[in-house]
Amino acid sequence: MKESYPIDVVCEVLGVNRSSYYAALKRGQRLDPDRQRLRGRLVDLHRASRGAAGARTLSQSLKAEGEQVGRYKASRLMAEAGVVSKQPSKRHRYGGQSQARPDIPNRLARQFAVTAPNQVWCGDITYIWAGAGWVYLAVVLDLFSRRVVGWALSANADSTVVCRALDMAYQTRGRPNGVLFHSDQGSQYGSLMFRQQLWRYQFIQSMSRRGNCWDNSPMERVFRSLKTEWIPPTGYSNLSEAQADIADYLMRYYNQVRPHSYNGYLTPVESERLLQVSNS
């Protein structure tokens, strides 16, 4: 008598989902090795994004590797592999200035599309759980390619953390001048220490209108992506762990790996590289 095995065991040996097996059986087809390979690579990319990448992002990542995988095929492969994208959580942002700053106008006025690097930078600060309390993350973003150019993490939500992030951006971007720096009306950005640093760098300051998060929406997206894609649900165990993991996300994954729809699904680094090539 011929011995039979449960479908679960067969699928595990073949490395496929039960749904894939039944779908192939229903179509009267053999399992496609090339489709299995694509599905396996899609799962790897999804895992590398910590479960955040959706069909559109995975499609673009596979295309960058030379695979002809459209959004809808990527969606079907996700379904076959049993993976889903994380859904964004409710917005969670750091409290702003209690009083308006009419002396610092909104010079940017939501003109987020700029034509070259180092024309407009945006900054913001948020909080993250680490150990027994909150730590505070300040980030500087170049609006041209949405590239993170500076950041700093601190146990204190004071002016020092935003000044450190700005100084990192200033040094790593070759000390540009004339940059328009935009932020919300957080007290750190209106402090004398920060404004003096902008003056030394010959930057122009711009601030969102009070209580209007859409005036600095590119920064909101950075923090939403960080918190929904990367940070563990329970936060970090200490400041050092948070420092290392956030650095990996911002400077490696966000800048060099993650496709951005704003850049036509290029990474920020690749977008800037192509500009240099076209200008050479």
The pLDDT, as a whole number, for residue 107 is 95
* Beta carbons within 8 Å of 52's beta carbon, 6+ residues apart: 85, 86, 225, 228, 229, 230
Rounded CA gap, 62 and 37, in Å?
Answer: 12
> What pLDDT band is residue 231 in, cutting at 50, 70 and 90?
very high
The pLDDT, as a whole number, for residue 64 is 76
Phi, psi of 189 (to 5 degrees): -80, -20
> What pLDDT band is residue 67 in, cutting at 50, 70 and 90?
confident
**Strand, coil or helix: 97:** coil
For the chain, give the mean pLDDT: 84
Rounded CA gap, 242 and 131, in Å?
Answer: 9
Rounded CA gap, 69 and 58, in Å?
Answer: 9
Q: Which of 210-214, 241-245, 276-280 has the lowest mean pLDDT?
A: 210-214
Whether the predicted pLDDT of 263 surpasses 80: yes
The pLDDT, as a whole number, for residue 5 is 58
66: left (phi over 0), alpha (psi -120 to 50) or beta: left
Per-residue pLDDT tens for 8-18?
A: 766 666 566 66
Residues 219-234: what's their mean pLDDT? 92
The pLDDT, as a whole number, for residue 280 is 79
Residues 17-34: what's their mean pLDDT? 63
